[in-house]
Amino acid sequence: MGNYITAHDGTSIYVEDVGTGDAVVFLHGWPANNNMFEYQKNALLEAGYRYVGIDYRGYGKSDAPATGYDYATMASDVHMVVDGLGIKDFTLVGFSMGGAIAIRYAVDFPDDGLKKLVLSGAAAPVFTQRPDYPYGMTQAEVDALIEDTLKDRPKMLEGFGEIFFEKEHSKPMQNWFHHLSLVASSHGTIASAKALRDEDLREDLPKVNVETLIIHGVHDKICPFEFALEMEKGIPNSRIERFEESGHGTVLDEMDKFNKTLLEFI
């Protein structure tokens, strides 16, 4: 069933909440929505878990205000959902940008009942290169993505999708995944890209105080595998699960392995 939770600034955040067992909360990637976890949801429900999928502000069925697309505000939205639904002792799964938001949440709200953390292809600790951080896209490359979004968002999304997966997926599957991003708000897509470009979580990693599983595709062209190594170095109780046949989209490239790994961890 679907719920709407009101954020601090009045924004309505859409949540898909299905099942009755222990809760697993999912944070999607840029610029999709919680439906990207369709095949994880099915596996969790079959195993008796509760699936809680959040659409960020600006994405999916949530409201799309003009502001609030920084990690701290998005993490606050997650807190309002967890609090509003009374979720305790849960696992949080953050994919790509959702991984960065999940880290921000784990640090900002350590008393919310978070039990375990899964970071899949996380856009963390930093998405763009710095003088002392040579990994990921350059800030100029993200600026170009933003410019392309302003000119032809569907074409930008198509190009982004071409580097998302390592394996070949059916055309209908590719179209479905592309559509998830098309329904996002344009201004939310742009504002979130600026957050990806500018934010830095390196000092936050040591403050993550829950057991953390880092799932990362070795062929990831969006969040290079070096990101996983940096997260493992920084997060005290963490380990990496290498996905040898995956690009960025581990949830589909190695769907069965992803689901099995997730179920074993939680």
Instruction: List the catalytic residues.
Output: 96, 220, 248
User: What residues contact 218, with CB distance under 8 A and at least 6 apart?
Assistant: 225, 242, 243, 244, 246
Distance CA 249, CA 259 (A): 13
Q: Alpha helices of 109-183 — where are they, by DSSP H?
A: 139-162, 171-182
Distance CA 214, CA 235 (A): 10
In the chain, the DSSP E strands lie at 2-6, 12-18, 23-27, 50-54, 90-95, 114-120, 211-217, 238-243
The letter for the amino acid at 117 is L
Distance CA 42, CA 122 (A): 22
What is residue 55's DSSP assignment?
P
Retrieve residue 209's tokens: 């105080």
